[in-house]
Amino acid sequence: MLTLARDFKFKYKEIAVSGSNKREHVRTKLRADVTVSHPELGDLNLHTGDISDGGAYILSEGHQLPPIGEMVSVQVQGMGGGDAPVVKMKVVRLDNDGVGLAFVNEE
């Protein structure tokens, strides 16, 4: 199964990462509609800020988001041709603008 980032290869623009903000994966700007599901917070309709082969940054848009370490399910909306897969992700970063999520390997 392809990662969420590879599913959107045709839509994104790679951005350079330098200085103290070093990442394992190259981040790419991508605004996609997503539903983030959490057992206590319910379903949140949000947008991505960027995405990489390791995860995604989701904009909070004023919503309460789960704390670091929590698991969520994420599904891209509006792709056409049927529903996108639901992907399990872990909250790895939280700031005033959003939440950093890492893909979880379920194998």
Where in the sequence is the domain holding 18, given as residue range(s)?
4-103
Instruction: Give the domain CATH number at 27.
Output: 2.40.10.220
pTM of the model: 0.76
List pLDDT tens digits, range 51-97. 999 999 999 999 999 999 999 999 999 888 888 999 999 999 999 99
Is residue 104 within 8 Å of 88, Cβ to Cβ?
Answer: yes
Here the tokens at position 57 are 């940054």
Strand partners, 58: 48, 99
What does the alpha-carbon distance between residue 101 and residue 90 come to, in Å, rounded to a whole number?
5
Domain total of the chain: 1
Is residue 34 within 8 Å of 77, Cβ to Cβ?
Answer: yes
